Chains A and B, each alone.
Chain A
């Protein structure tokens, strides 16, 4: 047999499609798949969350807020508790948890509603607050999250988000390490819709408890002055643009004919550095 060597011209062993195209198509397919999963599970969470019993939520809360369990409230915590208690009594429809508020050393201007009735107020936020009514509005807002069972939804969604990120990075441990702490501290992130609903609930509860709505928008006014993010950035953030929150609150105040009233100063001992400014 005679063999005649021949040059390879068309390489049939390598697909002609550009690898970049292959990659983009695969990425798009997976993203679409994950998006559908996210939507479906998110929907399921929305259906299931309001049906979770208070008992079950307490058990979940015991897991999530393990580091707060049995923690003794400090003097400062108890002062905030004194503002919280009348608010809790103001709404009999609130889930029957043992509502507790704790102050945590943290520069973030934020407060969290953890499962099963625990509220954490960061010291960064406390520094900004000037009146009892302003503080009450913040606490009432957090109670709104409990009333609407938002943290259960938030937890479900966060869990899915974790799953998705793990999926995307191919089980890369570094990305899990980034996500995991935010899960264990159960730092809830709510949707803008949920935040606004909590604002409305907070406003109504504030009015019910104090008979007027002094201090309702103070905190958001402060935030909008502080925050010079352009408005479109809030599209990506979980917290609504402070301006739009103030507007929604003002509209409701007018709609319901709530009385403006006069704000009570916050106890001086709450924020020692400002103690000189208030006398009570």
Chain B
């Protein structure tokens, strides 16, 4: 019984702390996305304008987001009954968007980022997810 109480407390703490952090993170993501809207990022390579290119370079951004106890337990439960494991969606979404943002922040003043790719992997014993975004930043001759 004591064990179940301990579990419930951990889940409750996980939920409250985790959702607070998540809300804060989403606020920051949305704010920065708005600010960096000016710098376009595309997945293709035929978006070049007819201008001389000064420099191109590889830019990347990576973010590691950890799960919390609530998500972990909820994920385990959902694993048992099958179906969508929706509790992890926001985790991956945050990791991907954060990675793209960091990449854009690395490539400030780039005119366009071409060939964006995003990769994810699990680290720290499946407790965290890493998203890596990379692409080619293009700077035109001014």
Contact = CB atoms under 8 A, between A and B. Distances in A.
A20 to B, nearest CB: 7
A2 B34 CA distance: 20
Given A11-B93, A15-B89, A20-B15, A178 B3 contact: yes
B77 A23 contact: yes
A66 to B, nearest CB: 27
B74 A23 contact: yes
Nearest to A18: B19
A56 interface: no
Contact of A13 (B39, B40, B93): B93
- Interface size, A (range): 20 to 34
- The secondary structure that dominates the B interface is helix
Interface in A1-28: 1-8, 11, 13-15, 17, 19-20, 22-23, 26-27
Interface string A148-186: 000000000000000000011110101100100000000
Nearest to A11: B93
Interface residues of B, number: 34
Contacts, number: 75
A63 interface: no
Contacts of A168: 4
A10 to B, nearest CB: 12
B58 to A, nearest CB: 20
A19 B80 CA distance: 17
| Max count, chain A CB within 10 A of own CB: residue among B15, B42, B86, B93 | B86
A22 B89 contact: no
A13 B78 contact: no
A19 B19 contact: yes
B141 interface: no
Contacts of B70: 19, 23
Given A22-B78, A26-B77, A27-B77, A15 B37 contact: no
Contacts of B7: 169, 172, 175
Nearest to A29: B81
A27 B81 CA distance: 10
A20 B71 CA distance: 10
A29 B74 CA distance: 12
A22 B74 contact: yes
A48 interface: no
Contacts of A169: 3-4, 7
A2 B80 CA distance: 47
Contacts of A30: 77, 80-81
A191 B98 CA distance: 56
A14 B74 contact: no
A8 B37 CA distance: 10
Contacts of B71: 19
Contacts of B2: 178
A96 to B, nearest CB: 38
B34 A26 contact: no
Contacts of A170: 73, 76
A8 B94 CA distance: 13
Contacts of B112: 3
User: Of residues A5, A17, A29, A30, which shows the largest number of chain B Cβ atoms within 10 Å of its Cβ?
Assistant: A5
A15 B93 CA distance: 11
26 contacts: A1-B46, A1-B47, A3-B47, A5-B37, A5-B38, A5-B39, A6-B37, A7-B34, A7-B37, A11-B93, A13-B92, A14-B90, A14-B93, A15-B84, A17-B86, A19-B86, A19-B90, A23-B87, A26-B80, A26-B81, A167-B80, A168-B4, A169-B4, A172-B3, A174-B3, A175-B3
